[in-house]
Amino acid sequence: MMQQIVECIPNFSEGRRMNVVDKIASAITNHRSVTLLDRSSDEDHNRSVLTFVGDPASVEQAAYDAIKTAAGLIDLEQHKGEHPRLGATDVVPFVPIAGVTMEDCIAMAQRLGKRVGEELSIPVYLYEKAASRPERENLANVRRGEYEGLKETIGVDPAREPDFGPTKLGSAGATIIGARPPLIAYNVYLTTDDVGIAKHIARAVRHSSGGLRFVKALGLLVDGRAQVSMNLTDHTRTPIARVVELIRREAERHGVGIHHSELIGLTPQRSLIDAAQYYLQLDQFEPDQILESRMDASLDPAGGLADTFLDDLAAGSATPGGGSAAAYAGAMAAGLVAMVARLTVGKKKYAGVSERMEDIARQADGIRATLTTAVDEDARAFDAVMDAYQLPKATDKEKAIRHQAIQQATITAAEAPLHVAGLAADIAELAAETAESGNANAITDAGSAASLARSCVYASGLNVRINASGVDDKDAGASWLSSLEAYQTRVDAAHERVHQALQERAGLG
pLDDT of residue 308: 67
CATH code where residue 489 lies: 1.20.120.680
Let me know whether 398 and 426 are in one domain.
Answer: yes
pLDDT in tens, 55-85: 999 999 999 999 999 999 999 999 998 888 9
Q: Of 137, 162, 179, which residue constitutes the final position of a domain?
A: 179
pLDDT level of residue 373 (50, 70, 90 thresholds):
confident
pLDDT in tens, 133-161: 999 999 989 999 999 999 999 999 999 99
376, 378, 426, 445: which one is catalytic?
378
More confident residue, 190 or 319: 190
Find, among 296, 300, 224, 262, the residue nearest to 44 by Cα. 224
Let me know whether 10 and 144 are in one domain.
Answer: yes
Q: Which of 24-33, 308-317, 348-357, 490-499 has the lowest average pLDDT? A: 308-317
Let me know whether 158 and 10 are in one domain.
Answer: yes
Let me know whether 342 and 362 are in one domain.
Answer: yes
Let me know whether 269 and 353 are in one domain.
Answer: no
pLDDT level of residue 87 (50, 70, 90 thresholds):
very high
The three state secondary structure string of 441-493 is HHHHHHHHHHHHHHHHHHHHHHHHHHHHCCCCCHHHHHHHHHHHHHHHHHHHH
Burial per residue of 444-466, b for 16 or more beta-carbon CB atoms within 10 angstroms, e otherwise: bbbbbbbbbbbbbbbbbbebbee
83 is annotated as an active-site residue = yes
Q: Tell me: pLDDT of 305 over 90.
A: no
Let me know whether 195 and 310 are in one domain.
Answer: no
Q: Of 162, 179, 196, which residue constitutes the final position of a domain?
A: 179
Q: Which residues have CB under 8 Å from 313's CB, separation 6+?
A: 320, 321, 324, 325
Let me know whether 236 and 146 are in one domain.
Answer: no
Distances (CA, A) of 331 to 77, 123, 316, 338: 51, 42, 23, 11
**Rounded Cα–Cα distance for residues 456 and 335 (Å):** 14
Contact 333, 427 (CB under 8 A): yes
pLDDT level of residue 380 (50, 70, 90 thresholds):
confident
pLDDT of residue 303: 43
Q: Of 280, 308, 342, which residue constitutes the final position of a domain?
A: 280
As to burial, measured by CB atoms within 10 angstroms (0-12 exposed, 13-18 middle, 19+ buried), residue 348 is: exposed
Let me know whether 291 and 167 are in one domain.
Answer: no
pLDDT level of residue 295 (50, 70, 90 thresholds):
low
**Rounded Cα–Cα distance for residues 129 and 181 (Å):** 9
User: pLDDT exceeding 70 applies to what percent of the chain?
Assistant: 96
What's the full length of the chain, in residues?
509
The domain tally of the chain equals 3
Let me know whether 150 and 83 are in one domain.
Answer: yes
CA 75 to chain centroid, in Å, comes to: 32
378 is annotated as an active-site residue = yes
45, 83, 200, 495: which one is catalytic?
83
Q: Which of 29-43, 187-201, 210-224 has the lowest average pLDDT? A: 29-43
Pairing of strands 124-128, 175-179: parallel
Let me know whether 132 and 214 are in one domain.
Answer: no
Domain extent at residue 72: 5-179
Let me know whether 203 and 102 are in one domain.
Answer: no
CA 58 to chain centroid, in Å, comes to: 20
pLDDT of residue 56: 92
Q: Tell me: pLDDT of 220 over 90.
A: yes
Q: Which of 212-226, 303-317, 402-416 has the lowest average pLDDT? A: 303-317
**Rounded Cα–Cα distance for residues 361 and 425 (Å):** 16
Q: Tell me: pLDDT of 236 over 90.
A: no
What's the mean per-residue pLDDT of the chain? 91
CATH code where residue 174 lies: 3.30.990.10
Let me know whether 210 and 252 are in one domain.
Answer: yes
Contact 482, 366 (CB under 8 A): no
